[in-house]
Structures are given as C-alpha cells and as structure tokens.
Amino acid sequence: MNLSVFQPPIPPSGYRQAEDITDYLPDFLAQLPVSLVLMVCVSGFLLMIAMAWFAYFKPRRKKWLASVAEANQQNEIMSEAFSLLTNEHEELPMPEKPLPKIPQNITPKKADEDELPDLGMLTTGLAKELPKVNVSPKKASTSPTPSITTTPPTTISGMRQTIRLNTGDLIPADELITIARDARDGRLVVQMNGIGYRTLVNDPKAKDQFVKLMRELSDVVNKPDDNPPSPTAEAVIPPPPPISTQPIVTPVSHIPPPPIATDGKMPGDLPKFKMEEAVRPTAKGKYEAVPLPELNIAEAIEAYLQHKLKFTPEYATRVIHVLSAPGGGVRIQVDNTFYEAVSDVADPDIRAFLQQTIAEWQARQ
C-alpha cells in the first residue's frame, strides 16, 4: 500500500493569497498628514461643546434671565408704589432761559396807554412824562418851609411796618407790592392786596395799579430825595398784636415703634426671597423658574399701621387706614376723609404719625 502526505491544492496561476490588513494599517496612518488628524479631533471636540451648550446651558441661562427680570420688575413696582404713597418727588430743575434783551432808544409812551411798562420805562424816558415838581414856599410867621406837590400816590391796602433806610433812619412804611420768582419755571410772580399774579392780562384793575406803581417807582431811580426824614424823627412803631386767648396745641411727641415678637417678625413684613432661590433644579437635571411672591405695599403698610395703633392710645378713637386705590395707587383714610397721599392729610399730628409709621415700616424691609 502506498501512503502519501496530504498537500494543499495549488492555486491557479494569477491568484494572490489574501494578506492581513494590520500589515498595511501602520503604513497607511504614517501617510496621513498630522494637520488633518488634528483638525478632525478639534472639530469633534467643538461639536460636543456646541451640543452641550444648546441642550443644557442655553435653556438654563434663559430661565435664569427670566427670573431675574421678573424680580427686577417686582422691585420697580414696590419702589413706585412707595413713592406714590409718600408723595416724594424730586424737584424739577429750573430750565435755563436766556434773559430778554433790553431794547434801546425806546419811544416814551403816553400815560393813558393801558400797557405794562418795560424795564426801559424805569431808567430812560419815563421821567419826561411825569409832571414837574412845583416847589413854592409858603408865607408864615416862622421860617418858610418848602411844599412839594406831586401826583397822588397809588393806594393799595398793605401791612404797616417799620423799615430802616440806607441812611440809618427808621420810617413807617406800607407794603404795596411783592415780586417773587416761581421755583418751577423761573417766571416772576406779582403779589398785590394779598393775591399773586403770574400774568395781569386778565385783570384790568390789578394791571392798572401795577402800571401806576411802576410810574411812581421811576422817581426812586431818576430823582433825588426831596423830603428826607429829619435826624430827630422817630419811627412810629405799631402796637404789638393782641395775644391770642386760644390754647396752644402741643404736638404729639415721637411715638416709639411697637414691640417686636420673639421670632423677630412683625405684621406687614414683606416676604423674603433671594436671587439664588429664583431658579431651582428639577429631577431631570434641568432648572425651572420659581414664581416670586406677590407684593402688596398698601396691605403691608396697613397691617403694620393697625398693629402700631394698638400700642398708641392717643389715636384709639381715630379711624386711620392705608387702602389700595382702584387705579393701583393708595388712599389715606382719616376718620371720614380720604386723601391721595400722606402729605395731603390736613391734621399735622396725624400726618406726622403716618410719615413716622411708613418710615419705620420701610426700615424693616
């Protein structure tokens, strides 16, 4: 018997046995440029960061900004309501207006013209219109004294007072006119007979009195004093006003704040919250905005006011409330009278008590 060893079949001509790919991988990687490999790695890393931003960080930031905006809005509402309650407004600045130019060479006006005098009438042509002073000595047994005849002065009811001249003499004088400046817009205000005028156009009588006074005032500017007070003359001092028999009302002294509870709380305290608590995490790892507590300034002050009235026996019989107005503001009730603000309260003691109460409440917030 012939025994033969098994031999694998011989592949046909042109056939190439398959080789392992691991034999060619190092050569292939060695041919790739390093910049291309780095670009692919960096692009993948940036892609992962972008996906994390849009999927996690951006929604969280959006909710946080929304909660912060809502908290700021609540603070603005609180500040505006408190400003309406106390009627604290800043004074408006006086607008700067250019001074009017004084016209030159003004033609003198006639005395019967019903127009207001301008500044030129006090310094230039008005002296030509006034009647001349007629000085004529009178015959008498004693030494002659000059008699001065002038136009009758304008009579306006005023308060008799004693004033000191620049020469040091005291003379009795009547107050005829007061000129002031409106603090709002800087416009001049004229006060005659106890009434102030921003314009005299609609009051012919007051306008005529003012024009006559301006004509007489020109003597102070353009003419010397022909009748100075004598050195020995004494001013007539009016008698002191009668002492009032009405009892003097003593204002209520400072009322201390009501006692604080052992836990430190007080009726009217606003709910406390922090900006960090405006957003809370959920079970899914996301964040959601926490609704902020509603603030009612009028109700909070009313609660503190009623708590303080319990410890103020001076006002035990008075009805004092701070109420919410339908339009969003506040109303102050004192007995049967309602006011728009604390500064409008007629009773000075109640007004001071309310201002003190509101200041104490604000200091606790």
Residue 189 domain flag: yes
| Contact (CB, 8 A) for 235 and 171 | yes
Average pLDDT over residues 23-43: 80
Residue 199, pLDDT score: 92
Residue 4 domain flag: no
| Same domain as 274, residue 210 | no
The residue from 207, 222, 237 where one domain ends is 222
| Same domain as 360, residue 271 | yes
Give the structural domain span for 131: 119-222
Q: What is the pLDDT of residues 215-254, one digit of tens each?
A: 888 888 888 888 888 765 454 555 666 665 544 444 555 7
Higher pLDDT, 317 or 160: 317
**Helix intervals (H) in 155-248:** 204-222
Alpha carbons within 13 angstroms on the beta-carbon side of residue 204 total 2
Strand ranges, E, within 217-289: 279-281, 287-289
What CA–CA distance (Å, rounded) separates 85 from 79? 10
Q: What is the pLDDT of residues 287-306, one digit of tens each?
A: 677 666 677 888 889 998 99
Residue type, 124: T
Does the pLDDT of residue 118 top 60, yes or no?
A: no
**Least confident stretch, 105-114, 308-317, 320-329:** 105-114
| Same domain as 321, residue 260 | yes
The DSSP symbol for 137 reads E
Does the pLDDT of residue 1 top 70, yes or no?
A: no
Q: How many domains does the chain have?
A: 2
What CA–CA distance (Å, rounded) separates 182 from 365? 38
Does the pLDDT of residue 73 top 50, yes or no?
A: yes
Does the pLDDT of residue 345 top 80, yes or no?
A: yes
Structure tokens at 345: 């309260």
| Same domain as 175, residue 133 | yes
- Confidence band of 49 (pLDDT split at 50, 70, 90): very high
| Same domain as 354, residue 279 | yes
% of the chain with per-residue pLDDT over 70: 60
| Contact (CB, 8 A) for 195 and 203 | no
Residue 46, pLDDT score: 92
| Same domain as 307, residue 218 | no
Does the pLDDT of residue 339 top 80, yes or no?
A: yes
| Same domain as 341, residue 269 | yes
Q: What is the pLDDT of residues 122-138, one digit of tens each?
A: 444 444 444 454 544 44
Higher pLDDT, 24 or 50: 50
What is the β-pairing status of strands 287-289 and 170-174?
A: unpaired
Residue 167 domain flag: yes
Does the pLDDT of residue 358 top 80, yes or no?
A: yes
Highest-confidence segment of 9-23, 144-158, 286-300: 286-300
Residue 123, pLDDT score: 43
Residue 38 domain flag: yes
Strand ranges, E, within the chain: 134-137, 146-149, 160-164, 170-174, 177-181, 188-192, 195-197, 279-281, 287-289, 320-324, 330-334, 337-339
| Same domain as 36, residue 123 | no
Does the pLDDT of residue 101 top 70, yes or no?
A: no
| Same domain as 363, residue 267 | yes
| Same domain as 213, residue 317 | no
